[in-house]
A and B are shown apart, each in its own frame.
Chain A
Amino acid sequence: QVQLQESGPGLVKPSQTLSLTCTVSGGSISTGSYSWTWIRQPAGKGLEWIGHIYITGSTNYNPSLKSRVTLSIDTSKNQFSLKLSSVTAADTAVYYCARETPSGYFYMDVWGKGTTVIVSS
Protein backbone atom coordinates (compact mmCIF):
# COMPACT_ATOMS: atom_id res chain seq x y z
CA GLN A 1 0.00 0.00 0.00
CA VAL A 2 1.01 3.62 -0.45
CA GLN A 3 3.33 5.07 2.16
CA LEU A 4 4.57 8.63 2.61
CA GLN A 5 7.83 9.81 4.14
CA GLU A 6 8.78 13.39 4.92
CA SER A 7 12.39 14.52 4.73
CA GLY A 8 14.31 17.73 5.12
CA PRO A 9 16.33 19.82 7.58
CA GLY A 10 15.20 19.65 11.17
CA LEU A 11 16.60 23.09 11.97
CA VAL A 12 16.03 26.27 9.99
CA LYS A 13 17.21 29.76 10.84
CA PRO A 14 14.74 32.62 11.17
CA SER A 15 14.04 34.49 7.93
CA GLN A 16 15.25 31.53 5.86
CA THR A 17 13.21 29.13 3.76
CA LEU A 18 11.95 25.83 5.11
CA SER A 19 12.11 23.07 2.50
CA LEU A 20 10.57 19.64 2.91
CA THR A 21 9.99 16.74 0.57
CA CYS A 22 7.47 13.93 0.78
CA THR A 23 8.39 10.70 -0.98
CA VAL A 24 5.59 8.42 -2.07
CA SER A 25 6.29 4.68 -2.09
CA GLY A 26 4.15 1.65 -2.86
CA GLY A 27 2.38 3.39 -5.72
CA SER A 28 2.68 6.10 -8.31
CA ILE A 29 1.99 9.69 -7.35
CA SER A 30 0.44 10.06 -10.79
CA THR A 31 -2.19 7.35 -10.32
CA GLY A 32 -5.68 8.59 -9.64
CA SER A 33 -6.71 12.16 -8.99
CA TYR A 34 -5.42 12.50 -5.48
CA SER A 35 -4.28 15.74 -3.99
CA TRP A 36 -1.01 15.75 -2.12
CA THR A 37 -1.23 17.70 1.10
CA TRP A 38 0.87 19.34 3.78
CA ILE A 39 -0.37 19.82 7.35
CA ARG A 40 1.53 21.06 10.38
CA GLN A 41 1.15 20.83 14.13
CA PRO A 42 2.99 22.98 16.66
CA ALA A 43 3.93 21.11 19.80
CA GLY A 44 0.92 20.57 22.01
CA LYS A 45 -1.42 22.29 19.57
CA GLY A 46 -3.88 21.41 16.84
CA LEU A 47 -3.59 20.65 13.15
CA GLU A 48 -3.22 23.33 10.49
CA TRP A 49 -3.77 22.65 6.80
CA ILE A 50 -1.02 24.29 4.72
CA GLY A 51 -2.18 23.39 1.24
CA HIS A 52 -2.30 20.75 -1.44
CA ILE A 53 -1.20 20.09 -4.98
CA TYR A 54 -2.50 17.90 -7.79
CA ILE A 55 -0.36 16.14 -10.39
CA THR A 56 -1.48 18.79 -12.85
CA GLY A 57 0.38 21.29 -10.70
CA SER A 58 -2.81 22.96 -9.57
CA THR A 59 -2.58 24.15 -5.97
CA ASN A 60 -4.70 25.46 -3.13
CA TYR A 61 -3.15 27.18 -0.13
CA ASN A 62 -4.23 28.24 3.32
CA PRO A 63 -4.80 31.99 2.97
CA SER A 64 -2.95 32.57 6.24
CA LEU A 65 0.24 31.15 4.68
CA LYS A 66 -0.34 31.74 0.99
CA SER A 67 2.16 34.57 0.61
CA ARG A 68 4.98 32.37 1.94
CA VAL A 69 4.13 28.88 0.65
CA THR A 70 5.05 27.14 -2.56
CA LEU A 71 4.12 23.53 -3.30
CA SER A 72 5.60 21.57 -6.16
CA ILE A 73 5.41 18.04 -7.48
CA ASP A 74 7.94 15.84 -9.27
CA THR A 75 6.24 12.84 -10.80
CA SER A 76 9.53 11.42 -12.07
CA LYS A 77 10.78 11.12 -8.49
CA ASN A 78 7.37 10.30 -6.98
CA GLN A 79 7.76 13.26 -4.66
CA PHE A 80 6.07 16.48 -3.73
CA SER A 81 7.60 19.36 -1.84
CA LEU A 82 6.89 22.29 0.44
CA LYS A 83 8.76 25.57 0.63
CA LEU A 84 7.89 28.07 3.34
CA SER A 85 9.75 31.34 3.19
CA SER A 86 10.63 33.94 5.81
CA VAL A 87 10.17 31.54 8.67
CA THR A 88 9.88 32.59 12.30
CA ALA A 89 9.67 30.67 15.55
CA ALA A 90 5.92 30.41 14.97
CA ASP A 91 6.66 28.00 12.11
CA THR A 92 8.23 25.48 14.48
CA ALA A 93 6.08 22.39 14.21
CA VAL A 94 5.75 18.80 13.15
CA TYR A 95 5.08 18.81 9.43
CA TYR A 96 3.02 16.01 7.91
CA CYS A 97 2.42 15.11 4.31
CA ALA A 98 -0.76 13.29 3.41
CA ARG A 99 -2.78 11.99 0.50
CA GLU A 100 -6.28 13.30 0.03
CA THR A 101 -8.79 11.24 -1.89
CA PRO A 102 -10.05 12.42 -5.25
CA SER A 103 -13.36 14.05 -6.02
CA GLY A 104 -16.49 13.05 -4.20
CA TYR A 105 -15.50 12.54 -0.61
CA PHE A 106 -12.36 14.45 0.34
CA TYR A 107 -10.43 12.93 3.20
CA MET A 108 -6.80 12.31 4.08
CA ASP A 109 -6.40 8.57 4.17
CA VAL A 110 -2.63 8.15 4.08
CA TRP A 111 -0.23 10.16 6.22
CA GLY A 112 3.49 10.32 6.67
CA LYS A 113 4.92 9.91 10.15
CA GLY A 114 5.78 13.58 10.35
CA THR A 115 9.02 15.48 10.64
CA THR A 116 9.90 18.06 13.27
CA VAL A 117 11.18 21.42 12.09
CA ILE A 118 12.58 23.88 14.60
CA VAL A 119 13.13 27.49 13.63
CA SER A 120 15.97 28.87 15.67
CA SER A 121 19.22 30.72 15.22
Chain B
Amino acid sequence: DIQLTQSPSSLSASVGDRVTITCQASQDITNYLNWYQQKPGKAPKLLIYDASNLETGVPSRFSGSGSGTHFTFTISSLQPEDIATYYCQQYHLPRTFGQGTKLEIK
Protein backbone atom coordinates (compact mmCIF):
# COMPACT_ATOMS: atom_id res chain seq x y z
CA ASP B 1 0.00 0.00 0.00
CA ILE B 2 1.09 3.57 -0.63
CA GLN B 3 1.57 5.51 2.57
CA LEU B 4 0.85 9.22 2.76
CA THR B 5 2.50 11.31 5.46
CA GLN B 6 1.07 14.73 6.15
CA SER B 7 2.83 17.50 8.00
CA PRO B 8 2.21 19.10 10.27
CA SER B 9 -0.33 16.96 12.16
CA SER B 10 -1.78 20.09 13.67
CA LEU B 11 -1.45 23.76 12.92
CA SER B 12 -2.55 26.97 14.57
CA ALA B 13 -2.78 30.10 12.44
CA SER B 14 -4.40 33.53 12.43
CA VAL B 15 -7.16 34.77 10.17
CA GLY B 16 -5.58 36.06 6.99
CA ASP B 17 -2.48 33.88 7.28
CA ARG B 18 -1.16 31.77 4.44
CA VAL B 19 -1.34 28.12 5.48
CA THR B 20 0.58 25.27 3.88
CA ILE B 21 0.22 21.54 4.44
CA THR B 22 2.45 18.96 2.84
CA CYS B 23 1.76 15.37 1.87
CA GLN B 24 4.59 12.97 1.16
CA ALA B 25 3.89 9.70 -0.67
CA SER B 26 5.91 6.54 -0.05
CA GLN B 27 6.30 6.06 -3.81
CA ASP B 28 5.73 7.96 -7.03
CA ILE B 29 2.01 8.59 -7.51
CA THR B 30 2.40 11.07 -10.40
CA ASN B 31 -0.50 13.47 -9.73
CA TYR B 32 -2.98 10.93 -8.37
CA LEU B 33 -3.72 12.96 -5.26
CA ASN B 34 -6.81 14.63 -3.84
CA TRP B 35 -7.40 16.91 -0.86
CA TYR B 36 -10.46 16.86 1.40
CA GLN B 37 -11.72 19.08 4.18
CA GLN B 38 -13.56 17.58 7.13
CA LYS B 39 -15.36 19.68 9.71
CA PRO B 40 -16.31 18.14 13.08
CA GLY B 41 -19.23 15.75 12.81
CA LYS B 42 -19.41 16.11 9.05
CA ALA B 43 -18.41 14.03 6.06
CA PRO B 44 -15.27 14.97 4.16
CA LYS B 45 -15.64 17.43 1.33
CA LEU B 46 -13.57 17.35 -1.84
CA LEU B 47 -11.49 20.49 -2.39
CA ILE B 48 -8.73 19.61 -4.84
CA TYR B 49 -8.47 16.70 -7.26
CA ASP B 50 -5.59 15.41 -9.30
CA ALA B 51 -3.15 17.41 -7.19
CA SER B 52 -4.02 20.87 -8.46
CA ASN B 53 -7.56 21.04 -9.83
CA LEU B 54 -10.04 23.05 -7.80
CA GLU B 55 -13.40 21.35 -7.36
CA THR B 56 -16.34 23.36 -8.66
CA GLY B 57 -17.67 25.79 -6.08
CA VAL B 58 -14.58 25.68 -3.85
CA PRO B 59 -13.15 29.12 -3.03
CA SER B 60 -10.05 30.10 -4.95
CA ARG B 61 -8.05 30.67 -1.77
CA PHE B 62 -7.56 26.90 -1.74
CA SER B 63 -4.92 25.46 -4.04
CA GLY B 64 -2.78 22.39 -4.51
CA SER B 65 0.45 21.56 -6.24
CA GLY B 66 3.05 18.87 -6.60
CA SER B 67 3.70 15.60 -8.37
CA GLY B 68 5.59 12.40 -7.82
CA THR B 69 5.99 12.03 -4.07
CA HIS B 70 5.72 15.57 -2.73
CA PHE B 71 2.51 17.58 -2.64
CA THR B 72 1.42 20.85 -1.11
CA PHE B 73 -1.97 22.21 -0.12
CA THR B 74 -2.29 25.94 0.49
CA ILE B 75 -4.89 28.30 1.89
CA SER B 76 -3.83 31.74 0.70
CA SER B 77 -5.73 33.72 3.34
CA LEU B 78 -7.16 31.73 6.24
CA GLN B 79 -10.82 32.35 7.03
CA PRO B 80 -12.64 31.35 10.24
CA GLU B 81 -14.76 28.85 8.33
CA ASP B 82 -11.62 27.00 7.22
CA ILE B 83 -11.19 25.46 10.66
CA ALA B 84 -11.24 21.75 9.93
CA THR B 85 -9.07 18.70 9.45
CA TYR B 86 -7.54 18.30 6.02
CA TYR B 87 -6.68 14.98 4.40
CA CYS B 88 -4.72 14.04 1.33
CA GLN B 89 -5.74 10.87 -0.50
CA GLN B 90 -4.09 8.97 -3.32
CA TYR B 91 -6.03 6.95 -5.85
CA HIS B 92 -3.88 4.01 -6.73
CA LEU B 93 -5.33 0.78 -5.35
CA PRO B 94 -5.92 0.44 -2.50
CA ARG B 95 -6.92 4.04 -1.95
CA THR B 96 -5.21 5.52 1.10
CA PHE B 97 -5.45 8.72 3.10
CA GLY B 98 -2.94 10.77 4.98
CA GLN B 99 -3.35 10.90 8.74
CA GLY B 100 -4.88 14.37 8.60
CA THR B 101 -3.85 17.89 9.58
CA LYS B 102 -5.98 19.65 12.17
CA LEU B 103 -6.15 23.36 11.53
CA GLU B 104 -7.06 25.72 14.35
CA ILE B 105 -7.40 29.46 14.69
CA LYS B 106 -4.76 31.19 16.80
Contact = CB atoms under 8 A, between A and B. Distances in A.
Answer yes or no: are A and B bound together in one complex.
yes
A45 B91 CA distance: 20
Interface string A45-72: 0111101000000001111000000000
A106 B43 contact: no
A109 B55 contact: yes
Nearest to B44: A111
B43 A63 contact: no
A107 B100 contact: no
B97 A106 contact: no
A62 B91 CA distance: 12
Interface stretch (B14-22, B45-53, B73-81): B45-53
Nearest to A62: B94
Given A46-B98, A106-B32, A109-B55, A60 B46 contact: no
Interface residues of B, number: 25
B49 A105 contact: yes
Given A61-B94, A111-B43, A47 B87 contact: yes
B106 interface: no
Interface in A95-121: 96, 98, 105-109, 111-114
Contact of B91 (A51, A98, A107, A111): A107
A11 to B, nearest CB: 20
Contacts of A111: 43-45
B63 interface: no
A73 B32 CA distance: 27
Given A106-B32, A107-B91, A49 B49 contact: no
Given A60-B93, A106-B32, A107-B49, A46 B44 contact: no
Contacts of B38: 47
Nearest to B55: A109
A48 B97 contact: yes
Contact of A49 (B46, B94, B98): B94
Given A46-B87, A111-B45, A105 B53 contact: yes
